[in-house]
């Protein structure tokens, strides 16, 4: 536990780092240098805490593997967890600096795309806070998720070089680098006693260098590590080519190695992109497997007790190749036989699934795997052969065997490999868990039901409430008599008693209005947008995907504008719709939806009949720090995905925790939110999963709904004719009317519009809106990441 550190001590330490690292004083240092020096001070405090820990304290360690860790900014988060945030802020002010300006110098660590990466970041915080010995493993991408720009009303993507300003958090460990091999050939060799040996020749080697980011738990008692692997060439320069004047060619080997960790999720709509993605995945799992095994042998000495001391949790299928890679290490490097190695692997690896859509389950072309990873291919084939024998013994010959094979139809199916090897498979909400058991993985669940479970996602409530919403945090501490909800989030339930208290309601209104003013300041800085702080802030912030149905919200907004044109004097509660979303660079429909939203926003925001009544604000370059500005200000949370398509969702939890009232479908974590909130405090609409399936079986005709609903006709005419910029969106309309409306927008529109009207009628009473805010915060404690990690530890990792 860190002792008390004064602001004077922090100031002295910052000034010392400025002098030692940058050759400047506190008076003439730039803000960016001040930030980096402060980060170094905090990193060194965490390093000392880590060095003081007992390295043998845990009998079992957790290794959390994820292609994404969306960490956001770390300076204030680490200072908060260490208990020195006031000292840091005071020290910066004593140096004549605006602390907020210094914090704004830090770039978001964009090592993720959305909920998957943000979940991993929240779990790292909770594992450290709860004292679990855990290491996160991912890739040290040079360029994170792209920087989104809006140009000519469209999304464009540019490189997001987060690392140059974040070097202060990263510590290179060159002495723990490992070699990862690609390509080449496998030559079989049999020894005198008949054991098979695989000799790998002709391969290309890449060096994986760990860059460690320290994660301190709340209270400063424990520090864990997020190990990020960076790719380096075995040969920085081909001197022969360089001496011949072939300067570009002389760097080719280095460039081909370093491209592996250049960017998160390279486009894979071509062979080169697929190859690079597969390289990234194997680079992560091979480096990680070697690292875990090396540390195990150093600590425990015997490879055979590996499963007793390690749990490897793979966050989605991206790290699935840890399964054959561990088999390779155990057999080829440590001399174990197949059965002994398999027994260790199947008791060490657990799999978290993050999708309910079978088409989204990851698969790789067989020839690509075979050529790029020849030894792993051999091992995968043997796993598949034995798995096939098991399936035939369980089901007999038939389609159940075929659809569950790891290798079929010229592809390697990663989820099926997880089903074959992992001792636990979990969904990320109760509904999702049931879908896995009864639909997506029903065949395997019927013969291995004990392996399937669920852990509803959770969020870091210390960051997503206490840090980003200090006004609400202060009120909670005052009402509960202490701040111990920070480690006991279930205490938020005690706020229910204050839902009818007029003074507490008034305080909630004040806090929300202050947060809206802060969000308005952000909107000006980020986009030059002038937010109406007297309007309801209605928020839909999440990855742009058709199933998340931002287009459904757009339909409603278009209708509201038309209604204001029909009757400018109608009774209308002012509202601002806020969107934040990035579309994958190659996802054309998602990018068209962004284009439509931007066209509509420009039209409405310049429409005199909508002035002071209706606004649309699309936040450019949505990221963690943007979410931290938006979420405390939100009053309505749009969670309107097609039922049965969202595995869980965590944005819904953050918004709920900050007092936003949810309008949503019975999907993902909304189900568990609704169980706690009920109809009185949450607004549900739309078809349920079974109703959607029944409608599709019966024959769903979106065009018939369109013909029968004049309001939808007017909306689609508006989309087709275009807004003030003259762009037509008839292509999106045609997809819905004649393309099957896969995500049921027309089927749910009438229910959505009616529910939205009901919601706005209720919240037109400020006291009722405040009551709803109190109740949402009060019921949100169960969605804390601490609860989720305790469930993982107890039910999956078997930790005390």
Q: Which residues contact 246 (CB under 8 A, 6 or more apart)?
A: none
Closest by CA to 520, choosing from 617, 598, 594, 623, is: 617
What distance in Å separates the CA atoms of residue 128 and residue 448, rounded to the nearest whole number? 32
Is 543 catalytic? The answer is yes
User: What is the DSSP track for 96-137?
Assistant: T--HHHHHHTSPPEEE-SSHHHHHHHHHHHHHHHTT--EEEE
The phi and psi torsions of 72 (rounded to 5 degrees) equal: 70, -150
Which string of b and e fits 2-29 if b means at least 16 CB within 10 Å?
beebebeebbebbbebbeeebeeebeeb
Q: Indicate which residue of 462, 543, 676, 771 is catalytic.
A: 543
Q: Which residues pair with 454 in a beta bridge?
A: 427
Is 354 catalytic? The answer is yes
- Three-class SS of residue 666? coil
Q: Indicate which residue of 542, 549, 676, 718 is catalytic.
A: 542
What distance in Å separates the CA atoms of residue 402 and residue 28, rounded to the nearest whole number? 69
Closest by CA to 500, choosing from 271, 771, 250, 291, is: 771
> Are 118 and 112 within 8 A, CB to CB?
yes
Torsion of CA 70, 74, 76, 77, to 10 degrees: 60
What distance in Å separates the CA atoms of residue 19 and residue 21, rounded to the nearest whole number? 6
User: For the packed helices 502-527 and 766-778, what is the interaxial angle rounded to 10 degrees?
Assistant: 90
What distance in Å separates the CA atoms of residue 645 and residue 744, rounded to the nearest whole number? 11
CA angle 750/771/115 to nearest 5° reads: 60
Q: Which residues contact 505 (CB under 8 A, 6 or more apart)?
A: 767, 770, 771, 774
> Are 66 and 264 within 8 A, CB to CB?
no
Is 654 catalytic? The answer is yes
What distance in Å separates the CA atoms of residue 684 and residue 300, rounded to the nearest whole number? 53
CA dihedral over 669, 673, 676, 682, signed as positive or negative? negative
Closest by CA to 536, choosing from 641, 619, 617, 626, is: 617
User: For the packed helices 766-778 and 670-681, what is the interaxial angle rounded to 10 degrees?
Assistant: 150
Q: Which residues pair with 178 in a beta bridge?
A: 208
Q: Indicate which residue of 43, 211, 227, 654 is catalytic.
A: 654
CA angle 654/658/661 to nearest 5° reads: 90
What distance in Å separates the CA atoms of residue 655 and residue 676, rounded to the nearest whole number? 15
Q: Indicate which residue of 43, 211, 354, 505 is catalytic.
A: 354
Q: Indicate which residue of 318, 328, 548, 623 is catalytic.
A: 548
Using alpha carbons, list the distances in angstroms from residue 636 to 313, 325, 541, 549, 760. 35, 47, 11, 16, 9
User: What is the DSSP track for 67-81?
Assistant: S-EEEE--HHHHHHH
The phi and psi torsions of 310 (rounded to 5 degrees) equal: -145, 135
Closest by CA to 415, choosing from 359, 477, 456, is: 359
What distance in Å separates the CA atoms of residue 356 and residue 316, rounded to the nearest whole number? 12
Strand runs (DSSP E) across 318-367, as ranges? 349-352, 363-365
Using alpha carbons, list the distances in angstroms from residue 369 to 131, 333, 365, 403, 410. 39, 21, 7, 20, 10
What distance in Å separates the CA atoms of residue 655 and residue 635, rounded to the nearest whole number? 8
Instruction: Kindly report the three-state secondary structure assignment for every residue of 400-461.
Output: HHHHCCCEECCEEEHHHHHHHHCCEEEECCHHHHHHHHHHHCHHHHHHCHHHEEECCCCECH
Strand runs (DSSP E) across 457-574, as ranges? 536-541
Q: What is the DSSP letter of 143?
A: B
Q: Indicate which residue of 650, 665, 689, 777 is catalytic.
A: 650
Positions marked catalytic: 354, 542-543, 548, 650, 654
């Amino acid at each position: 536990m860190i002792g008390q550190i004064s602001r004077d001590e922090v100031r002295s330490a910052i000034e010392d780092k400025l002098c030692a690292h940058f050759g400047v004083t506190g008076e003439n240092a730039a803000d960016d240098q001040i930030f980096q020096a402060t980060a170094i001070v905090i990193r060194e405090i965490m390093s000392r805490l880590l060095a003081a820990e007992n390295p043998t304290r845990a009998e079992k360690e957790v290794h959390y593997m994820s292609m994404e860790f969306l960490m956001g900014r770390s300076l204030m988060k680490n200072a908060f967890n260490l208990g020195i945030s006031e000292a840091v802020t005071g020290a910066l002010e004593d140096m004549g600096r605006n602390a907020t300006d210094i914090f704004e110098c830090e770039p978001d660590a964009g090592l993720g795309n959305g909920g998957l990466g943000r979940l991993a970041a929240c779990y790292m915080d909770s594992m450290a806070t709860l004292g679990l010995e855990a290491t996160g493993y991912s890739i040290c991408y040079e360029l994170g998720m792209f920087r989104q720009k809006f140009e000519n009303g469209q999304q464009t993507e540019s490189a997001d070089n987060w690392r140059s300003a974040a070097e202060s958090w990263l510590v290179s460990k060159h002495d723990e680098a490992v070699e990862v091999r690609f390509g080449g050939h496998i030559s079989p060799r049999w020894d005198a006693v008949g054991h098979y040996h695989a000799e790998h020749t002709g391969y290309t080697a890449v060096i994986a260098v760990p860059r460690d980011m320290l994660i301190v738990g709340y209270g400063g008692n424990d520090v864990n590590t997020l190990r990020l692997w960076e790719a380096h060439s075995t040969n920085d320069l081909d001197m022969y080519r360089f001496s011949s004047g072939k300067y570009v060619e002389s760097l080719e080997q280095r460039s081909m190695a370093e491209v592996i960790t250049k960017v998160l999720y390279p486009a894979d709509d071509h062979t080169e992109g697929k190859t690079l993605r597969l390289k990234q995945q194997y680079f992560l799992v091979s480096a990680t497997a070697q690292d875990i095994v090396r540390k195990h042998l150093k600590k425990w000495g015997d490879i055979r007790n590996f499963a007793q001391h390690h749990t490897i949790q793979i966050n989605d299928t991206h790290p699935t190749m840890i399964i054959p890679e561990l088999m390779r290490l155990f057999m080829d490097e440590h001399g174990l036989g197949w059965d002994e190695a398999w027994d260790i692997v199947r008791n060490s690896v657990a799999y978290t699934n993050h999708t309910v859509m079978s088409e989204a389950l990851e698969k790789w072309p067989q020839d690509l795997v075979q050529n790029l990873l020849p030894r792993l291919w051999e091992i995968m084939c043997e796993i598949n052969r034995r798995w096939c024998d098991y399936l035939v013994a369980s089901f007999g010959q038939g389609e159940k065997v075929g659809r569950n094979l790891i290798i079929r139809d010229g592809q390697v199916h990663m989820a099926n490999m997880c089903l074959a090897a992992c001792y636990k498979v979990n969904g990320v909400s109760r509904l999702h868990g049931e879908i896995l058991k009864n639909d997506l993985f029903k065949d395997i669940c019927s013969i291995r039901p004990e392996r399937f479970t669920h852990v509803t996602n959770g969020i870091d409530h210390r960051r997503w409430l206490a840090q980003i919403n200090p006004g609400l945090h202060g009120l909670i501490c005052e009402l509960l008599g202490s701040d111990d909800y920070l480690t006991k989030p279930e205490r938020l339930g005690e706020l229910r008693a204050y839902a009818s208290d007029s003074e507490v309601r008034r305080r909630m209104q004040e806090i929300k209005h202050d947060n809206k003013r802060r969000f308005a300041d952000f909107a000006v800085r980020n986009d030059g947008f002038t937010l109406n702080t007297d309007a309801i802030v209605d928020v839909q912030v999440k990855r742009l995907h058709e199933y998340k149905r931002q287009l459904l919200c757009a339909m409603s907004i278009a209708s509201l504008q038309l209604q204001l044109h029909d009757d400018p004097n109608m009774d209308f509660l002012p509202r601002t719709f806020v969107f934040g979303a990035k579309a994958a660079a190659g996802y054309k429909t998602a990018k068209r939806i962004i284009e439509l939203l931007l066209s509509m926003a420009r039209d409405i925001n310049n429409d005199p009949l909508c002035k002071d009544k209706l606004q649309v604000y699309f936040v450019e370059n949505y990221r963690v720090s943007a979410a931290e500005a938006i979420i405390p200000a939100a009053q309505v949370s749009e969670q309107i995905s097609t039922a049965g398509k969202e595995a869980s969702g965590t944005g819904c939890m953050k918004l709920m925790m900050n007092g936003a009232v949810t309008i949503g479908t019975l999907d993902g974590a909304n189900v568990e939110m609704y169980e706690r909130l009920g109809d009185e405090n949450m607004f549900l609409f739309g078809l349920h999963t079974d109703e959607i399936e029944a409608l599709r079986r019966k024959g769903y005709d979106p065009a018939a709904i369109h013909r029968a609903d004049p309001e939808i006709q007017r909306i689609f005419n508006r989309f087709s004719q275009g807004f003030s910029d003259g762009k037509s969106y008839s292509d999106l309309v045609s997809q819905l009317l004649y393309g099957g409306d896969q995500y049921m927008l027309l089927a749910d529109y009438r229910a959505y519009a009616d529910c939205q009207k009901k919601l706005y009628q209720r919240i037109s009473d400020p006291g009722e809106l405040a009551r709803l805010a109190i109740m949402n915060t009060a019921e949100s404690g169960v969605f804390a990441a601490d609860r989720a990690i305790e469930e993982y530890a107890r039910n999956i990792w078997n930790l005390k």
